[in-house]
Amino acid sequence: MTKTETQFQMSGNIKNKTINVMLAGNPNCGKTTLFNQLTGSSQYVGNWPGVTVEKKSGRVRGKTGIDIKVVDLPGIYSLSPYTPEEIITRNCVLNDSPDVIINIIDASNIERNLYLTTQLAELAKPIVIALNMYDILEKNGDKIDVDLLEKQLDIPIVPISASKNIGIDKLIKKVIELNNKSNYINVKNIYSYEIDRTLNKIENELDINTCCRRWTAVKLFEGDSVTWERCNFTKEQKNRILAHLNQIQTLKNFDREMLIADERYKYICSITKNTVFRKHPADYITISDKIDNVIANRFFAIPFFLFLMLAVFTVTFGTPGTLLRNGAEYFINDILGSTIQKFLIAVGASYTAQSLVIDGMVAGVGSVISFLPQILLLFTLLSLLEDSGYMSRAAFIMDKPLRFIGLSGRAFVPMLMGFGCTVPAVLAARTLENQKDKRLTILITPFMSCSAKMPVYLLFISYFFADKGPLIIFAVYLLGIAVGVLTALFFKSTILKGENAPFVMELPPYRLPSPKSMSLHVWNRLKDFLVRAGTVLLGASVIIWFLQSFNFSIKMVSADESMLASIGKIISPVFSVCGFGDWRAAVSLLTGIAAKESIVSTLSVLYTDAGFASAFTPLSAFSFIVFVLLYTPCIAAVSAIYKEMGSTKWTLVSVFYQLFAAWLASALVFQIGTLIINLGMI
């Protein structure tokens, strides 16, 4: 029997009861890391705010005989409903009636984190503080008198290190103990006598069954409109409460909400003064500060960011990445493909069956899988930057340029996620409280080149730009950003006018990424790629093989007489001005609507190596890459756009605008490039 199981059985009287636990804390305090430790889940953990954009749930693992459900809430600084994350967390805490709240606090930023604690405590629900990253605090030479702090707060505190699984057993034991208590804890003596007396009077005006009476009284004191509407007071009750508020002399010169905030911080300072001891003074320059002074200063920040991205692409698409891809191609084509073909011949498979497996399945899926090592390398390098804390700096760096196009640096987070996958990037836009910012961000995010397009770029680079791979990829990414900028400028000056939203984001300290976190991040991205390769791409490869092998009479014919050729020849003239009017190229773009990787599998099924090399020139190849970069994302992404936009009209605007932008940009690239070549300038 494990130590944890022994501790659980100490409270066996709740063996058959489900304990509902909610995790609440500031952004980047380690909530999701703790959630993963408790539940064995595999949610992504990032060293930057905004990782959790909606609540996630799981159950504490282990054969304990006790059912403990854990909900991971979005990171917030306050329960005041200003942002979508705060609204989600506030509604869950108020309406879902958790049995216990675990308040995760970053031990190195305890003063700021305790502001949320004072609000949670007023909910009159059992709370335990998980003092996270306590090992880092001690390593820095700082100290917290946990026993004294616990006594002054009247809230149990458990020092933990979620990333190292330290203190988790004690935390679970404390959750069970709190769940068994009948008297709920509450923070006392936060406010001055005059304010506290007024809050008591307001509480007396509330219905006896009102949930979270003290918290409700505080919100009424602050003038929170949502709480006033929810209480549904009679005219007499409202007048009595306003009369209580008007009796406070202090309110004559202060905003009531600011007054409550000031009282909270005075209370926090009073209890941390004798419980938190810092090795260094407040103005001490940390290692993170010193690094930021170099790579995040106003002159060097953007050039360094661009240099860093170019370095990532050079490693991924230069010699190291190319060697990895060549090895994968050799295994798939020369070993796996040859072995499968010999097996089919040995068992007497028909020509049609051999063609289906070799020319359809192996050629289609294998052509995408061969780029897997390079994509894996790219994911690893980007995860390294994210987990180290650099990407939070990138958001601040990009705040000023983004404000020029009508957005704040906060929009950089979903845009950055768009370089991985458009679907979570679009969903992350829900963290933008301004409707104009949200729509504008969703409109431009698909122009950030997602990883699904990478196999397409790599295919064309391997044939036409073998010695310029990193520069081509770098140019493609910059082009996507440039088109996004132009799109934002167009929409912000036409149908999406409005003021820029304020931007506040905490800069986490630089940290060495943990192997577990990085591997989890890479696997989550890679898993999606592999699932699509085994489902969507495999299915698409079989369908494409069938359509290009048979005519409408279901007779096996040459590719030029097939059903696919008939369809392709109808739409291919549209792309002649872009330099790729061949029907094969046209139908590959159609399959790309299902998944962008399908373009590679389609091209691999329809073309031989020699046929592919002769169907394009370097200029038309680059034009094709530009179209793939900019045109409508996959069906899953379109579905996410519809979900977040909440409008069919805006979804159609997004889809057709991206199609037009892709066609126009591709045509301009090819036509201008042709003109330059004809003039002998290249």
pTM: 0.64
Residue 11 clears pLDDT 50, i.e. is over it: no
Torsion angle of the four alpha carbons 421, 426, 427, 429, in this order, in degrees rounded to the nearest 10: 130
Range from 41-45, 342-346, 366-370, 627-631 carrying the lowest mean pLDDT: 41-45
Q: What residue type is assigned to position 357 of the chain? A: V
Above pLDDT 70, what percent of the chain? 80
- Specify the pLDDT at position 669: 93
* Mean pLDDT score, 123-149: 87
- Specify the pLDDT at position 680: 73
Instruction: Choose between 44 and 595: higher pLDDT.
Output: 595
- Where residue 586 falls among pLDDT bands split at 50, 70, 90? confident
Phi and psi at 638, nearest 5°, equal -60, -40
Phi and psi at 101, nearest 5°, equal -110, 125
Residue 549 clears pLDDT 80, i.e. is over it: no
Residues 6+ apart with CB under 8 A from 270: none
Q: Where in the chain is the domain with CATH 1.10.287.1770?
A: 193-277
If one counts every other C-beta atom within 10 angstroms of the C-beta of residue 268, the result is 20
Q: What residue type is assigned to position 112 of the chain? A: R
For residue 72, the SS3 value is strand
Instruction: Choose between 29 and 424: higher pLDDT.
Output: 29
* Mean pLDDT score, 64-68: 74
- Specify the pLDDT at position 282: 64
- Specify the pLDDT at position 590: 83
Q: Among residues 9, 299, 409, which one has the least CA distance to residue 169? A: 9
- Where residue 3 falls among pLDDT bands split at 50, 70, 90? very low
Residue 129 clears pLDDT 90, i.e. is over it: yes
- Specify the pLDDT at position 105: 92
Q: CA-to-CA distance for 58 and 195, rounded, in angstroms?
A: 41
Q: Where in the chain is the domain with CATH 3.40.50.300?
A: 3-180
- Specify the pLDDT at position 630: 93
Class of domain 193-277 as given by CATH: mainly alpha
What is the helix (H) or strand (E) element at residue 58, kind and residue range?
strand 56-59
Chain center to CA of 507: 17
- Specify the pLDDT at position 286: 75
Instruction: Choose between 495 and 294: higher pLDDT.
Output: 294
Q: Give the β-pairing of 18-25 and 67-72.
A: parallel
Highest mean pLDDT among 358-372, 542-556, 610-624: 610-624
Instruction: Choose between 244 and 318: higher pLDDT.
Output: 244
What is the helix (H) or strand (E) element at residue 69, kind and residue range?
strand 67-72
- Specify the pLDDT at position 13: 45
Query: Per-residue DSSP letters for 371-435?
Result: THHHHHHHHHHHHHHHHHTHHHHHHHHTHHHHHHTT--GGGHHHHHHTTT-HHHHHHHGGG--SH
* Mean pLDDT score, 102-114: 89
- Where residue 63 falls among pLDDT bands split at 50, 70, 90? low
What is the third-level CATH fold of 3-180? Rossmann fold (3.40.50)
Q: Among residues 611, 607, 423, which one has the least CA distance to residue 531? A: 423
Residue 501 clears pLDDT 80, i.e. is over it: no
The partner residues of 18 in beta bridges, in order of sequence, read 67
User: Tokens in use for 202?
Assistant: 């307001």
Q: What residue type is assigned to position 392 of the chain? A: S
Residue 44 clears pLDDT 80, i.e. is over it: no
Residues 6+ apart with CB under 8 A from 412: 394, 395, 398, 399, 402
Instruction: Choose between 664 and 250: higher pLDDT.
Output: 664
For the chain, the distance separating the N- and C-terminal CA atoms, rounded to the nearest angstrom, is 75
Residues 6+ apart with CB under 8 A from 207: none
Q: What is the pLDDT of residues 448-475, one digit of tens each?
A: 888 778 888 988 988 888 878 888 888 8
Q: How far is CA 1 from CA 5, 62, 358, in A?
A: 6, 11, 53
Residue labelled with tokens 């216990």: 100
Instruction: Choose between 528 and 593: higher pLDDT.
Output: 593
Residue 251 clears pLDDT 60, i.e. is over it: no
Residue 371 clears pLDDT 90, i.e. is over it: no
What is the helix (H) or strand (E) element at residue 639, kind and residue range?
helix 635-645
Q: CA-to-CA distance for 607 and 548, rounded, in angstroms?
A: 11
Q: CA-to-CA distance for 587 and 566, rounded, in angstroms?
A: 10
Instruction: Choose between 157 and 357: higher pLDDT.
Output: 157
Residue 281 clears pLDDT 50, i.e. is over it: yes
Q: What residue type is assigned to position 447 of the chain? A: F
Instruction: Choose between 53 and 350: higher pLDDT.
Output: 350
- Where residue 622 falls among pLDDT bands split at 50, 70, 90? very high
Residue 189 clears pLDDT 70, i.e. is over it: yes
What is the helix (H) or strand (E) element at residue 9, kind and residue range?
helix 3-9
Q: What residue type is assigned to position 356 of the chain? A: L
The partner residues of 159 in beta bridges, in order of sequence, read 131
Q: CA-to-CA distance for 98 and 395, rounded, in angstroms?
A: 34
User: Tokens in use for 627?
Assistant: 């179209």
Phi and psi at 152, nearest 5°, equal -70, -35
* Mean pLDDT score, 343-358: 75
For residue 11, the SS3 value is coil
* Mean pLDDT score, 321-346: 77
For residue 611, the SS3 value is helix
Q: CA-to-CA distance for 600 and 598, rounded, in angstroms?
A: 5
Instruction: Choose between 529 and 561: higher pLDDT.
Output: 561
Residue 185 and residue 155 in contact, taking contact as beta carbons nearer than 8 Å? yes
Phi-psi region of 275 (alpha: psi -120 to 50; beta: other; left: phi over 0): alpha
For residue 7, the SS3 value is helix
